Structure 1
Amino acid sequence: MSRDFSAGTAVSRHWSTVRVVVVGDPATGKSSLIAAAATDTFPEIVPPVLPPTVLPADYYPDGIPVTIIDTQYSLEGKVKIEEELLRADAVVLTYACDQPDTLVNLQIFWLPEIRRLKVNKPVIVVGCMLDLRDEHFPINLERMMGPVMQQFKEIETCIECSAANLIEVAEVFYYAQKAVLHPTAPLFDQESQTLKPRCIRALKRIFVLCDRDRDSALNDSELNQFQVKCFNAPLHPNETEDVKRVVRDNLPKGVNHLGLTLDGFLYLHSLFIAKGRLETTWTVLREFGYNDDLVLPKENIPVPSEMAPDQSVELTSEAVDFLKGIFSLFDSNKDGYLQEFELDELFSTAPESPWDEDPYKDSMERSELGGVNLSGFLSQWALMTLLDPPQSLAYLSYLGYTGDLAKAIRVTRKRSLDFKKQHTDRNVFQCYVFGPKNAGKSALLTSFIGRPFQDNYHLSSNQCYTVNTVDQLQGIKKTLILHEIQERDVKEFLSSKDSLAACDVAIFLYDSSDEYSLTRASKLLTKVARKGEDSGYGVPCLLIAAKNDLNIYPMAIKDSEMVCQVMKISAPIRISVKEEHMSNVFQKIVTTAQQCHLSVPESKHARNNKRYRQLVNSSIFFASVGAAVAIVAMVAYRAYTYRKTNSTR
């Protein structure tokens, strides 16, 4: 039997085999279908259930073998079928063309059962024994299955076949394999007959990368380079003209005097998919690194595999320069800000904007009109790089970065080593913000990104961050990340051994008008100091007296200064966010982070241990001196005795 399938294509990951499970009512032709596909002959006698059957790698062009699992429905075998369905890569669901009730049973039992089991794999509906259908009662398959496919989106395609006449038998498992290796769902919306948004974004990025002269069109040379890269075969000039003619005839704006436009590029892929040539679009996507979810897999991003807990990741100057160029490119009106529509366009070649969700949603400074300046833009990238290096590198790629991703980031030196050297070369510092409820933590974070003061703050996330640049002496800029930690979460947070490893400096806010607030802040400071000593990740700390515009309680200044003296940290910093009296608090935080060996607190436990070690060392010293004196005395006595004995002789 001859088989005519499309040329083989690359697949998104290594498949040792595609596992297809065949289910359906009894006597619907499951076993005969499998046997006919495997042998190219119709078996006169088949057992009730076939053992696993393998179609070899060279059976279909993709070069991946297909393992077919036959099943037989019974009450006793129900559990076995469920297990097989959950292990399937694709499901072939059969009905008998000469038994209408088996088709009805697909809708009332089998498809709901597959959905109940949450199989979430493509389903190929197959009508078997086409040769037995009464020719006086023809059925329009498309009209009959259309409503069913609308109800059950997991159905990839429907096909009818005849094992007896070897009609469309091999095609059944080809479609099943194809649904796994080249799935429709990520690319195309069957209901609207349009490309899905994420597919459009991926293809737009590919178009931009191939448009080397940046004129928003693929000329003949660029089209040919694209063809060679994806399909390893050049386009002949007449083929290039044929492609452009097809696009021009159906979508005039798809081609202009410069070449194929983005609209034309997208139209071609819609055409491929509509004609069932999904492997063409998938070949393109996979050549440019996309997986089945149409993202660049994080496991393929070259991030450092081994990092100490107290190391962090920063963008290199090369990556920062690229981002500056991107900012300038998308700042269409050159006002120094990226408005929301400009940010949307900037991220239009990525699966979605990475900054629409926590923890990035409200973390950077914006203008009154919502625009983001260059400083805020780069700060946000610094935050994403610190928290999620693979995501940061992936989005650099989505934006068109073509350099070596491994050279786009650098791993900082260990903070423990910075401490010993009493110097750090970090450009990005993370500050943990502790304090009791209503101490003013949220007000401090929002003031850092230029938001106006509010009387009440409502946290939208437990992972609350703000980030901005801080000007230092001689025009040097550092990036500071404030990470608010709620008082109720401190115990759980500190339960991890490495909880303070990523912290460059910790600050402790209290309400200046509330004596109890200072007491609670002091206890938090003590807990963090003790945790730092126990874990080996001691961090410099600052005490901040917030709400300094309120009436402070009588002993507030003396009490807070006493806390700092006892803990051996810098004097309290007094601020009022409401009245914008900030005492250069952010510069002081950065300076403290840079002077990492200073302002590291000592807990009472540490002081007791220190006194104990001093006492032990003193005891050892005096014991050593005493022993030395005794030895000297003994030697002197022996010498004296020896001389006396000799003189008497």
Structure 2
Amino acid sequence: MAGVGYNAPRLNLGGSSTGGVRIVVAGDSKTGKSSLIVTAAAETFPTTVPPVLPPTRLPDDVFPDRVPVTIIDTSSSTENRAKLVEELRRANAVVLTYACGRPETLDRLSTFWLPELRRLEVRLPVIVAGCMLDKRNDAYPVSLEQVMSPIMQQFREIETCIECSALKTIQVPDVFYYAQKAVLHPTAPLFDQEAQTLKPRCVRALKRIFIICDHDRDGALNDEELNHFQVKCFNSPLQPSEIVDVKRAVQEKLAEGVSEYGLTLTGFLFLHALFIEKGRLETTWTVLRKFGYNNEIRLGDDQLPPPIKKYPDQSVELTNEAVDFLRQIFFTYDIDGDGSLRAPDVEDLFSTAPENPWDEAPYRDAGMDALGGLTIDGFLSVWALMALLDPFRCVEYLVYIGYAGDASSAIRITRRRRLDRKKQHSDRNVYQCFVFGPKEAGKSALLNSFAGRPFPVEYFPTVTDNNYAVRIVDQPGGIRKTLILREIPEDYMQRLLASRDALAACDVAVFMYDSSREPSWKRATALLLDVASHGEDTGYEVPCLIVAAKDDLDPYLTEIQNSTRVSQDLGIEAPIPISTSLGDLSNIFRRIVNAAEHPHLSIPETEAGKSRKHYQRLINRSLIFVSVGTAVAIVGLAAYRVYAARRNSSS
């Protein structure tokens, strides 16, 4: 497989307004920077050069990729430091120069220039260029590999080291060819130089490409599939003899690289490792880019839906097409047919994605059952959580695992929650419930119970606002809704309510308290009033339920009386008693879903809110009186004018 006649696609490279490659040349004074640039552009050594050259553009056809290259000269003087820093931060690659006849300038690379780039957080490929090779004393031969090897071990950002002579025109174009190549075809994302292996993200991308090209799904690329791949990537078919040669070369080095059906995934990966080891990175990059990957080995924006625009009180859900696809995926990876995906199954599922997105919170434990597996409902629930919290990433990973339809068809934006309240019904499939309450009220235990995990013996305070549990809740009539519980630690309340849109994504709020402790009840009441007031002030009012947890313990004396009075004053349902330790949950999850489905009910009214509504009614009534009075006055005036006109005509 070779890229015959390949022209690299025009890339959108940071720091370049033209879409080309911007190379900054830096180094100590009098190390040949300007002469190097002029010779590369004019192909002749200059007799005189200014202290600092203006930006220099190389001809587009000077290198095979035909990508524009702009070279920026710099000054190393202290007074021009700000300009140097600005140019470095706009660059795509850096050429650091030293003078071959002055060893102290080579030392300065590791003592000043390379550490300085790191200090400035300029994370770019670096080409080290030894200039004025013609001035080196032949009596003291130097092995470039021997000198540079320890420096390259310390500074992995160095892509290539090369020595040149502008005067003798030795390897001058090569300096900028390697710099351009380091930008267009960087080594670091693909290959681990120390281990001499493909990097995991590169392997995952190539595996996905292999599966896409394996049309008959037999685990190998036959001759026809190999040819189709070659034409797609390099616009040139392989001759039958070339296909035979490729498979023979792989099989000689790796027996399992070729099967009776064709080139296996192992062989496909081996070939790309071989290309990279031989310096042919452009071959692998061509393949990756033809399948939509960028320099981070993620799918580019053109492969994904446009940014999702929605109001804060709208959410994103998976469509029926996406859910059907995910059902098929689940049963494909449930190889043992036990109705559950274990950790290795999930890893295998995401083996064609840049990484496993469920390795981190909040997805890691959100849908797991008591045995640490994912049932089909748990699997779909975690995807629903991902669509709600990070819809763009959710669609991206659907594409990675094989969703073949239009990426935009995988998600839908729901109706605004404030419109749901007006219509007195919500048609969402996914509801998010914020669980508030003081410390040790039982919030985490409720989430564990919801997820089917055992009741914890010891108490561990929640120290993150990223604790979720998600599950499908069966409603009467065969209706199924996905419910997401998000625990809001007491310490996080102030930060949460500092945002105007804090409650916009909330369908229903639950306030828990320890029914055996009066301070817990008082604090839960205060939190409820804070949330209710915030909703009234911002227009993001939410249905609220009060939950009296730890019902297996003796209540404090006035618990029932106080809690009933407060709920009546606020106009919401009386507290719901539960005991997570005994598994007595009073259908709490169905009741949460019911409250979310009828969002106009169970909305608490504070005294301030009642006063505001009363005042608004008075204003509206006054406006009606003013309107009626104005209408009567206008009618009276019109009648008087008619009467006056008749009187004048009769006289």
| Same fold? TM cut 0.5 | yes
Q: Identify the residue that residue 384 of structure 2 maps to in structure 1.
A: 382
CA distance in 2, matches of 1:619, 1:415: 31
Residue by residue over 1:356-401, the C-alpha shift from the partner in whole angstroms, topping out at 9 and shown as x without a partner, is: 1122222122242x22111111100000000000110011011011
Residue by residue over 1:580-636, the C-alpha shift from the partner in whole angstroms, topping out at 9 and shown as x without a partner, is: 11001001101111112211111111222333455566778899999999999xxxx
Q: Identify the residue that residue 285 of structure 2 maps to in structure 1.
A: 282
CA distance in 2, matches of 1:426, 1:107: 60
Residue by residue over 1:323-344, the C-alpha shift from the partner in whole angstroms, topping out at 9 and shown as x without a partner, is: 1111111112111111111111
Q: Identify the residue that residue 366 of structure 2 maps to in structure 1.
A: 363
Q: Identify the residue that residue 8 of structure 2 maps to in structure 1.
A: 9
Matches within 5 A, 1:511-550: 511-550=514-553
CA distance in 2, matches of 1:563, 1:216: 65
Matches within 5 A, 1:89-128: 89-128=92-131
Whether contact under 8 Å (1:21, 1:84) holds in the other structure is yes
SS of the equivalent of 2:25 reads strand
Q: Cα distance 1:593–1:41, how it changes in 2: closer, same or farther (>3 A)?
A: same
Residue by residue over 1:468-508, the C-alpha shift from the partner in whole angstroms, topping out at 9 and shown as x without a partner, is: 11111123221000011122222321222221111111111
CA distance in 2, matches of 1:257, 1:629: 96
Q: Identify the residue that residue 343 of structure 1 maps to in structure 2.
A: 346
TM-score by structure 2 length? 0.91
SS of the equivalent of 1:581 reads coil
Whether contact under 8 Å (1:12, 1:290) holds in the other structure is no
Q: Cα distance 1:105–1:528, how it changes in 2: closer, same or farther (>3 A)?
A: closer
CA distance in 2, matches of 1:365, 1:527: 33
Residue by residue over 1:552-582, the C-alpha shift from the partner in whole angstroms, topping out at 9 and shown as x without a partner, is: 0122112111122111112221101111110
Q: Cα distance 1:475–1:163, how it changes in 2: closer, same or farther (>3 A)?
A: same
CA distance in 2, matches of 1:48, 1:379: 64
Q: Identify the residue that residue 640 of structure 2 maps to in structure 1.
A: none
The AA in structure 1 aligned to 2:211 is: V
More moved, 281-290 vs 381-390 = 281-290
Q: How far is 1:201 from its partner?
A: 0.9
Segments of structure 2 that go 5 or more residues without pairing to the other structure are 636-651
Q: How far is 1:354 from its partner?
A: 0.6
More moved, 323-332 vs 10-19 = 10-19
Q: Identify the residue that residue 510 of structure 1 maps to in structure 2.
A: 513
More moved, 607-616 vs 106-115 = 607-616
Whether contact under 8 Å (1:298, 1:390) holds in the other structure is no
Whether contact under 8 Å (2:227, 2:237) holds in the other structure is yes
Whether contact under 8 Å (1:310, 1:502) holds in the other structure is yes
Q: Identify the residue that residue 394 of structure 2 maps to in structure 1.
A: 392
Matches within 5 A, 1:492-641: 492-614=495-617
Whether contact under 8 Å (2:315, 2:413) holds in the other structure is yes
CA distance in 1, matches of 2:438, 2:531: 14
Whether contact under 8 Å (2:464, 2:489) holds in the other structure is no
CA distance in 1, matches of 2:620, 2:202: 70
Q: Identify the residue that residue 645 of structure 1 maps to in structure 2.
A: none
SS of the equivalent of 2:221 reads coil
Q: How far is 1:439 from its partner?
A: 1.2
Q: 1:319 aligns with which of 313, 319, 322?
A: 322
Q: Identify the residue that residue 225 of structure 1 maps to in structure 2.
A: 228
Q: Cα distance 1:626–1:94, how it changes in 2: closer, same or farther (>3 A)?
A: closer
Q: How far is 1:39 from its partner?
A: 0.7
Whether contact under 8 Å (2:27, 2:113) holds in the other structure is yes
Residue by residue over 1:28-74, the C-alpha shift from the partner in whole angstroms, topping out at 9 and shown as x without a partner, is: 22222111100111223333332221113232232322221223333
Q: Cα distance 1:26–1:6, how it changes in 2: closer, same or farther (>3 A)?
A: farther
Q: Cα distance 1:170–1:608, how it changes in 2: closer, same or farther (>3 A)?
A: same
Whether contact under 8 Å (1:508, 1:544) holds in the other structure is yes
SS of the equivalent of 2:495 reads helix
CA distance in 2, matches of 1:9, 1:481: 46
Q: Identify the residue that residue 166 of structure 2 maps to in structure 1.
A: 163
Q: Cα distance 1:62–1:618, how it changes in 2: closer, same or farther (>3 A)?
A: closer
Q: Identify the residue that residue 643 of structure 1 maps to in structure 2.
A: none
Q: 2:67 aligns with which of 55, 64, 69?
A: 64
1:453 aligns with 2:452: no
CA distance in 2, matches of 1:190, 1:559: 69
1:442 aligns with 2:444: yes
CA distance in 1, matches of 2:250, 2:528: 68
The AA in structure 1 aligned to 2:505 is: A
TM-score by structure 1 length? 0.91
Q: Cα distance 1:304–1:120, how it changes in 2: closer, same or farther (>3 A)?
A: closer
More moved, 544-553 vs 140-149 = 140-149
Whether contact under 8 Å (2:8, 2:67) holds in the other structure is no
Q: 2:470 aligns with which of 467, 471, 476?
A: 467
Q: Identify the residue that residue 245 of structure 2 maps to in structure 1.
A: 242
Whether contact under 8 Å (2:202, 2:297) holds in the other structure is yes
Q: How far is 1:313 from its partner?
A: 0.7
Q: Identify the residue that residue 641 of structure 1 maps to in structure 2.
A: none
Q: How far is 1:140 from its partner?
A: 2.8
Whether contact under 8 Å (1:358, 1:461) holds in the other structure is no
Q: CA RMSD in A?
A: 2.5
Residue by residue over 1:218-247, the C-alpha shift from the partner in whole angstroms, topping out at 9 and shown as x without a partner, is: 111111221222222222222222221221
CA distance in 2, matches of 1:38, 1:616: 78
Q: Identify the residue that residue 489 of structure 1 maps to in structure 2.
A: 492
CA distance in 2, matches of 1:426, 1:161: 67
Q: Identify the residue that residue 411 of structure 2 maps to in structure 1.
A: 409
Residue by residue over 1:72-98, the C-alpha shift from the partner in whole angstroms, topping out at 9 and shown as x without a partner, is: 333433443333323322111122223
Q: Cα distance 1:33–1:359, how it changes in 2: closer, same or farther (>3 A)?
A: same
Q: How far is 1:215 from its partner?
A: 1.1
Q: Cα distance 1:617–1:397, how it changes in 2: closer, same or farther (>3 A)?
A: closer
CA distance in 2, matches of 1:625, 1:10: 72
Q: Identify the residue that residue 334 of structure 1 maps to in structure 2.
A: 337
SS of the equivalent of 2:358 reads coil
The AA in structure 2 aligned to 1:102 is: T
CA distance in 2, matches of 1:347, 1:173: 39
Q: Identify the residue that residue 421 of structure 1 maps to in structure 2.
A: 423
Matches within 5 A, 1:143-292: 143-292=146-295
Q: Cα distance 1:11–1:186, how it changes in 2: closer, same or farther (>3 A)?
A: farther
Aligned pairs, number: 627
Matches within 5 A, 1:81-96: 81-96=84-99
CA distance in 1, matches of 2:485, 2:278: 53
Segments of structure 1 that go 5 or more residues without pairing to the other structure are 633-649
CA distance in 1, matches of 2:131, 2:30: 10
Q: Cα distance 1:621–1:150, how it changes in 2: closer, same or farther (>3 A)?
A: closer
